[in-house]
């Protein structure tokens, strides 16, 4: 029994010497080697794991070096206040929701928001008006809502108090929402933006605009794209609501990791000193290899001209698409065999998160892997499914069904029942039914089509579904 399975598994993975094109942004410590300060930090991780002793300040009542570090962070992002988060964007999303809204408030929310947002809606007991999803069927991905989808949701609302948006999305795609956000603020709505994948935005002209100054609360995951340890994130605040600090203390541990906080300080320091030039160089190399990889005519890396008008793509990541009849999930597996770790796969491709710490050799490794790819190994037996463009009626709010009894019944017997869980088909990964919504004949037909074509549907187990027991 003398085993340490988790530690031993991590060490085995380390010994594979994979090219990390997934989170975290520190790329297994490689990004800390930018300069002497980062190098010493990386080499001293064990020594720096400490608690709130006298000279090192306290995250829950910062008066010294942590306060100074957070003030520098606010200057970097040009916001009123900024806070370190040691439990990822999730804690920031919860603190923002509780700070911005009171129980019973009505809010507009993207249907494909992060799970932590849904958790916040339930915990804060908010009424929800969902914003319609935009689908790019050519690429097989969902896109952020545009002004028209946001205003359509606004018109459905009775007395909205705010809006929660995700920008960019998981594919690194943003929509131009600056004008509509100004309109929403003018009529008194509070704006929360989950910008988890956009911590690096705005620090080079070739990157999309930063969301930092647009929302009342903007949450960014430093650990996703910057040299920060996993769980490191920032909450950026542009209003004068003092209770946000109470909620931060409520949702974060009283024993915050100094390793994570120190890495967040380094991530901000990196943005101030190196990001502009580094991202310029990264994007130049990435675009050069985009041409080389696309010329192989096996996969193609999406550029801005291939997404719908009004959208911007993050040039510091690869959205790599396979041809019709081939599988993005199998592409991820193939790259893994080549010791290239993708961030995620979807039906038609994979996402690779690049970093300024990537070398020419790293890009050459990607190129050679695609050059050696036998497309026959990626053949897809799954049928292509159409995306749903309309969603069921909401009968109860998500928080209202949370404590209601449920029962599990056969899917085909669920007509006009109220769903207790999310039902999420992959692709595209967007809930076609949310908790509290009525299940219709059309929805059951669509779910059956997904299942019969061998596609994954979260929320359906052995053709059974959980519904509210009434």
Question: Quick check: helix, strand or coil at residue 302?
Answer: coil
For residues 72-95, give the mean pLDDT. 97
**Which of 434, 386, 444 lies closest to 413, judged by CA?**
444
Look over the chain and give the mean of its residue pLDDT values, rounded to a whole number.
93
Query: What is residue 241's predicted lDDT score, i.e. its pLDDT?
Result: 78
Neighbouring CB atoms inside 10 A of 146's CB total 20
Query: What is residue 462's predicted lDDT score, i.e. its pLDDT?
Result: 87
Higher pLDDT, 221 or 442: 221
pLDDT at 363 over 80: yes
pLDDT at 299 over 90: yes
Cβ proximity of 26 and 32 under 8 Å? yes
For residues 257-280, give the mean pLDDT. 98
Task: Note the helical H segments in 187-257.
Answer: 222-225, 244-251
Query: What is residue 426's predicted lDDT score, i.e. its pLDDT?
Result: 66
For residues 242-262, give the mean pLDDT. 95
**Burial label, 212 (beta-carbon count in 10 A; 0-12, 13-18, 19+):** buried
Flag the least confident range among 40-49, 108-117, 230-239: 108-117
pLDDT at 217 over 60: yes
Full-model pTM: 0.93
Would you place residue 284 in the very low, low, confident or very high pLDDT band (cuts 50, 70, 90)? very high
Would you place residue 395 in the very low, low, confident or very high pLDDT band (cuts 50, 70, 90)? very high
Cβ proximity of 42 and 35 under 8 Å? no
- Spell out the SS3 assignment of the chain: CCCCHHHHHHHHHHHCCCEEECCCCCCCCHHHHHCHHHHHHHHCCCCCCCCCCHHHCCCCCCCCHHHHHHHHHHHHHCCCEEEEECCHHHHHHHHHHHHHCCCCCEEEEECCCCHHHHHHHHHCCCEEEEECCEEECCCCEEECCCHHHHHHHHHHCCCEEEEEEECCCCCCEEECCHHHHHHHHHCCCEEEEECHHHCCCCCCCCCCCCCCCCCCEEEECHHHHCCCCCCCEEEEECCCCCCHHHHHHHHCCCCCCHHHHHHHHHHHHHHHHCHHHHHHHHHHHHHHHHHHHHCCCCEEECCHHHCCCCEEECCCEEEEEECCCECHHHHHHHHHHCCEEECEEECCEEEEECCCCCCHHHHHHHHHHHHCCCHHHHECCCCCCCCCCCCCCECCCHHHHCCCCEEEEEHHHCCCCEECCCEEEECCCCCCECCCEECCHHHHHHHHHHHHCCCEEECCECCEEEEECC
Would you place residue 221 in the very low, low, confident or very high pLDDT band (cuts 50, 70, 90)? very high
pLDDT at 385 over 60: no
Higher pLDDT, 419 or 380: 419
Q: For the CA atoms of 93, 307, 339, 298, what is the dihedral angle to 10 degrees? A: 160
For residues 397-409, give the mean pLDDT. 90
pLDDT tens for 323-357 read 989 999 899 999 999 999 999 988 899 999 999 99
Q: Which helix (H) or strand (E) holds 118?
A: helix 115-123
Would you place residue 267 in the very low, low, confident or very high pLDDT band (cuts 50, 70, 90)? very high
Cβ proximity of 99 and 121 under 8 Å? no
Would you place residue 202 in the very low, low, confident or very high pLDDT band (cuts 50, 70, 90)? very high
Higher pLDDT, 445 or 275: 275
For residues 357-365, give the mean pLDDT. 98
Would you place residue 111 in the very low, low, confident or very high pLDDT band (cuts 50, 70, 90)? confident
**Which of 325, 343, 323, 324 lies closest to 335, judged by CA?**
343
Query: Per the structure block, which two tokens stand in for 454?
Result: 């061998």
For residues 38-58, give the mean pLDDT. 94
pLDDT at 2 over 70: yes
For residues 411-429, give the mean pLDDT. 83
pLDDT at 105 over 90: yes
pLDDT at 8 over 80: yes
Cβ proximity of 154 and 107 under 8 Å? no
Would you place residue 387 in the very low, low, confident or very high pLDDT band (cuts 50, 70, 90)? low
Flag the least confident range among 231-240, 286-295, 306-315: 306-315
Peptide bond preceding 185 in cis form (omega within 30 of 0): no
pLDDT tens for 140-183 read 888 999 999 999 999 999 999 999 999 999 999 999 999 999 99
């Amino acid at each position: 029994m003398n085993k340490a399975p988790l530690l031993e598994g991590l060490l085995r993975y380390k010994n594979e010497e994979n090219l990390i094109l997934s989170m975290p942004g520190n790329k297994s410590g490689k990004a800390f080697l930018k300069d002497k300060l980062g190098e010493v930090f990386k080499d001293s991780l064990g020594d720096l794991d400490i608690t709130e002793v006298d000279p090192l300040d306290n995250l829950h009542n910062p008066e010294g070096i942590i306060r100074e570090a957070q003030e520098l962070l606010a200057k970097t992002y040009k916001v009123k206040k900024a806070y370190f988060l040691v439990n990822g964007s999730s804690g920031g999303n919860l603190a923002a929701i509780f700070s911005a809204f009171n129980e019973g408030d009505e809010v507009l929310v993207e249907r494909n928001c992060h799970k932590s947002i849904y958790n916040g809606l339930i915990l804060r007991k908010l009424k929800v008006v969902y914003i319609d999803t935009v689908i790019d069927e050519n690429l097989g991905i969902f896109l952020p809502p545009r002004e028209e989808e946001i205003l359509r949701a606004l018109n459905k609302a009775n007395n909205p108090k705010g809006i929660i948006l995700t920008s960019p999305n998981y594919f690194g795609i943003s929509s131009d929402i600056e004008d509509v956000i100004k309109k929403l603020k003018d009529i008194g709505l509070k704006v929360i933006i989950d910008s988890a994948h956009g911590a690096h935005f705005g620090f080079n002209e070739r990157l999309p605009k930063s969301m930092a100054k647009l929302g009342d609360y903007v949450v960014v995951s430093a650990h996703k794209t910057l040299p920060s340890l996993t769980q490191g994130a920032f909450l950026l605040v542009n209003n004068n609501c003092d209770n946000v600090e109470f909620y931060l203390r409520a949702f974060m541990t009283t024993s915050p990791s100094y390793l994570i906080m120190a890495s967040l300080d380094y991530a901000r320091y990196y943005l101030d000193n190196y990001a502009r030039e580094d991202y310029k160089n990264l994007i130049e190399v990435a675009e050069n290899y985009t041409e080389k990889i696309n010329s192989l005519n096996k996969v193609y890396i999406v550029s801005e001209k291939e997404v719908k008008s009004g959208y911007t793509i993050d040039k510091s990541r690869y959205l790599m698409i396979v041809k019709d009849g081939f599988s993005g999930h199998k592409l991820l597996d193939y790259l893994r065999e080549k010791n290239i770790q993708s961030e995620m796969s979807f039906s038609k491709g994979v996402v690779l998160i690049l970093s300024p710490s990537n070398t020419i050799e790293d890009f050459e490794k990607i190129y050679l892997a695609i050059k050696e790819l036998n497309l026959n190994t990626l053949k897809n037996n799954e049928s292509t499914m159409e995306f749903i463009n309309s969603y069921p009626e909401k009968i109860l709010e998500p928080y209202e069904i949370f404590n209601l009894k449920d029962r599990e019944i056969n899917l085909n017997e669920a007509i006009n029942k109220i769903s207790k869980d999310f039902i999420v088909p992959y692709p595209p990964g967007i809930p076609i039914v949310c908790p509290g919504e009525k299940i219709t004949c059309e929805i059951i037909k669509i779910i059956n089509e997904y299942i019969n074509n061998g596609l994954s549907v979260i929320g359906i187990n052995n053709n059974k579904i959980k519904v509210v027991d009434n």
